[in-house]
Every structure is written in structure tokens, then in C-alpha cells.
Structure 1
């Protein structure tokens, strides 16, 4: 989850859209005005707004997404429905019940009603600020889920080769020697596997809008990058997901993720991770395998 947007116009518009979605889907929700006991789950820069609701399927979760009308038909727009259709139930996630779409002027909205899942997000933010203390069973479940997801056949792309060719040399230019841009392998990934998209103590993987093919090991690499501010947690990720990370493919995936997060830092995101990201890229660059100088 992210902080409530600073722009009151965005918060008012999204709360109004959520109220409209409640009516369209026949669900009820607490007042969206800030008050004790009311919990809103905001997406990046107010792009989405979620919260608990009660309706025809019992307790559930309503997520409302905004997009400019001209962009309301791309990968992010259709991801949840395609995940519901193509990703098997062995990958733990909230099932999608209903979808409604509408437009108001230049603003398009999409309301998604999900089943209720046990547990809460491991972290309120994508990056960890403290070790999460998850069980061995939780980690085993995550390994199994990522393994099953990697084998899902899809034409969706979470990361594209054209982006790697363009961005990796630019954002990893501080590394000595040439920067590789071609992954050793590709597989299917969630695409946004950070700590606010994982629940505990019972595992569920949230937010499936951006899933698709990516360099093999991408999900593990992303989770590791978002753990770097807590060395204990980063070490645990490396241990538990070593099958994905301790290889040339895994090290390359780390460089891909570091590229993306360094780019996002230019927009003011993930600034606290930048020193650790640059340090980790240097460690990979000085090691054998993917990312070695020269």
C-alpha cells in the first residue's frame, strides 16, 4: 500500500468512484471519509483505492482502478481477469468475483470485487522496514507458488527485451565493463512481488495486474531488492529463494530489478533503497556469472 495522495482532487475523485462501484456491484463499505476504524488501501500515486466490503459473496475486497481513457485497455487493465482465467488455484491469491468498467470524461475506472483472504499484508509498504518473522511453511508455500506460476503459458509480458536493451546500460553505467542485457532464460512472473502484495501468516499473493513473462528469477529478485534495507530479511530471502537467485539467471534478474528501481528513484520513489541497490549491483558485477565486468 501507499500513502494517501497529496492532491485532494485525486482522493475525492477516487472515493466518489469507489462509492459508485459499491452501488454497481451491490456491496456496502464503511464511510470513505478518514475516521477511526476506516482503512483505505491506496495504490501508487492514487491510481487505485481498495477496502473491505460486504455483499453478495459475503465479506470481500473492492478495488477501484483509474486510468486515462486512452490507456484503459492495456496489460495492467486486463491482468486480474487474465490471471483468474489462466493461473491455477494452486497459486494462492484472492479469487476475482465481479468486474465493472465505466468512464467519465477522460477518466476510465475499473471496479474489481475479490474474495476475502485471511491474513494481512506482510508490510504496509513495498519495502521492508523490519524483519517480517515468517514461518518455514510460509516460505515453502511461496517457493511452490512461484514455481507453479513460472510454468504458466501466457503471451503477456511483465518485462520486455526492448526495455532491457534501453535501460540496463543507462542505469547500470556505474558498473565496470559492458552491461549484459539478454536474460539467460525467461519465465512467467507475478511482476510486482513486494511485501505489500504478500499476506501472512497465511500466504496469498495480491495484485495481479502486471503479471507476465520476465527474466527467470524476476519475482525472487524483486522481493530481495525490497528487503535490502533490512539485511536480516534480505539474507532470509537469499536463503529461502536460493533456487531462483543463486544462478546466472538469478543474478541477471537482480540487475534487471535494480535497473527498474533506480529508474523509479528518478521519479522520487524508493530513494531509501538507492545506496543498497547500487552496492548490490556492484557485488554482482564483481562476482562470477551474470553481471561480471568485461
Structure 2
């Protein structure tokens, strides 16, 4: 009989007690975390330190840590031409009681507050200078070289995953889903991971090579509840999204919005359906 490895329990760090974890990070990094600044997310916790830096702590199942590891923020520190907080150091440890690992990365403070939640419901009214800096960073990122593979939502992106996603939104169509161009991508590009009025892009845990247009399509999907903002994203990243790979990534994003876990009241559903139909027609037309 083959014994399977124990699986980690589902944990939401927004409600899970984390005092022991915070104390471990303080001791390991020799910092004091300002408890009044703690920000909790589903799988990460962050806080400001007494040396004017920021520490982000993430919990990840062992089976979600692939061959390339999970040192995205550390590896992103070598990227050139990217507006991001400087990486200072980290501590990584395996949980004593569960098949999970913890990682705490220390970086410089952000130059401004995050723009909002991952999905926006109001226009942030960003200035042209912000969009210029945004485009400069995404263009510089795509020109880098890496062996890392992007892991959007902690799942390694592959040709098979793209094909499955496209088929889920176009099940009756015989579309060629072959990706032609793979370039470095942030892979978690949304409005919670960028700052304004000064642009900065952070949370680099999942970056790596991905089909061209993944980041643009991801941000477009995060903007659909604000039509003018979604249109602006498509305009600014039109050279990505108009490409064949960009159209595949648009369908990839639509599959996430329209998937079986979609909330019936999600304002993004109808625009995502319309865009999926439009893009499928364009791909069929060649």
C-alpha cells in the first residue's frame, strides 16, 4: 500500500492567529514589527518595521513550491529598469507541524499606498505620468531573460493550462491555442500590487516566463467593473493584447472570471462574455 503525503489544511491568514509567526520573523530578521500597520491577506501578512522597511510573510503548501522554488522577490531584485521596492533580505522556514513553508521578505517601503483592491469598483483617476511609468516597467520586464516560469495563482502556467482555459470559454470552437511568444511577466498584476501617485510594482512571488499579454490581460480583467479603466488598460497595452498570444491570454483571463466559482452578481461577467465572443471570432478569422 502506498501512503500519500499529508496535505496542508486550508488556512486564511486574514483570520488565522499569526502572533507566533510574527515573533519568529522579528527574532530572525532582528526587527520589530509595528502591529498597528499589519495588513492581512488570504495567504500573506505584511507589516512595517522599526527600521523603516516592510516585511511580507507568506505561507505556502509544500506542493505549491515547484522546482524553481519560491524566491520570486529575491530573483526580481536583479531586474533592470523596473520600478519596484528594493529587496533587503529574507528568512525561510518549514512549519514544524504541517507540510507548509513560511517565507518573510524585507523590502524598502513603498513610495505610496496601493491603488486599491485586486478588483476595482471605482476609477483611480491615474495621471498620464503614472501610465508612462507603468508601461516602461512592463516593457522593461518583457525584455529581461529568466529561466523562471510564471505561477499565476501559484499554478505553473503551461501550454496545456492555456489550452484548457481557452477550451473552457470556447468549447465548441476548434482554435489553435499554441503560444508563440513567452516573455517574463509579473503574473499577479492587479490594482492591489501597484502604488500611486508614484508608480511601483510589488509582490513578485509568482513572476517568470509566460505567454505575451498575460499581465495586460490580468489587469484588464481586474478593471472590468470600471469600463473606462478597462478600456484604458487595453489602450495602453494594445501592442500586447492585439497580438495572437495576447488574445489567448484575454481568453485565459475570461476563463478565470467566467469559471464555475463565478459569483452571479460579479459585474465583470457580462463584459468578459462579450470580450470572449469577440476574441474567439477574431482568432477564427485569423
Query: When the two structures are superposed, what TM-score results if normalisation uses the length of structure 2?
Result: 0.84
8 Å contact kept, 2:213–2:240? yes
Q: 1:182/1:269 Cα in 2 relative to 1: closer, same or farther (>3 Å)? A: farther
SS of equivalent residue, structure 2 residue 45: strand
CA–CA separation in structure 2 for the residues paired with 1:84 and 1:269: 40
Quote the residue 2:277 is aligned against.
282
- Pairing partner for 2:145 from 117, 136, 153: 153
8 Å contact kept, 2:166–2:248? no
Moved more, 7-16 or 200-209: 7-16
8 Å contact kept, 1:75–1:209? no
* CA deviations over 1:192-221 (Å, ceiling 9, x no partner): 111111111111101101111111111111
SS of equivalent residue, structure 1 residue 165: helix
Query: By how many angstroms is 1:230 displaced?
Result: 0.4
Quote the residue 2:93 is aligned against.
102
Quote the residue 2:122 is aligned against.
130
CA–CA separation in structure 1 for the residues paired with 2:257 and 2:44: 21
Quote the residue 2:258 is aligned against.
262
CA–CA separation in structure 2 for the residues paired with 1:74 and 1:41: 29
SS of equivalent residue, structure 2 residue 15: helix
Count of residues in correspondence between the two structures: 269
Q: 1:169/1:73 Cα in 2 relative to 1: closer, same or farther (>3 Å)? A: closer
* 1:29 and 2:33 are equivalent in the alignment: yes
8 Å contact kept, 2:13–2:40? no
- Pairing partner for 1:141 from 133, 139, 148: 133
Quote the residue 1:3 is aligned against.
none
* 1:212 and 2:208 are equivalent in the alignment: yes
Quote the residue 2:76 is aligned against.
83
* 1:65 and 2:65 are equivalent in the alignment: no
Quote the residue 1:237 is aligned against.
233
* CA deviations over 1:83-123 (Å, ceiling 9, x no partner): 123x12x1011121111012222142111111112111111
5+ residue gaps, structure 2, are 1-9, 151-156
| Root mean square deviation of aligned Cα | 2.6
Query: By how many angstroms is 1:8 displaced?
Result: 8.2
Quote the residue 2:195 is aligned against.
199
- Pairing partner for 2:83 from 87, 92, 109: 92
8 Å contact kept, 2:88–2:108? yes
5+ residue gaps, structure 1, are 1-5, 32-37
Query: By how many angstroms is 1:271 displaced?
Result: 4.5
Q: 1:202/1:76 Cα in 2 relative to 1: closer, same or farther (>3 Å)? A: farther
8 Å contact kept, 1:49–1:63? yes
CA–CA separation in structure 2 for the residues paired with 1:270 and 1:223: 20
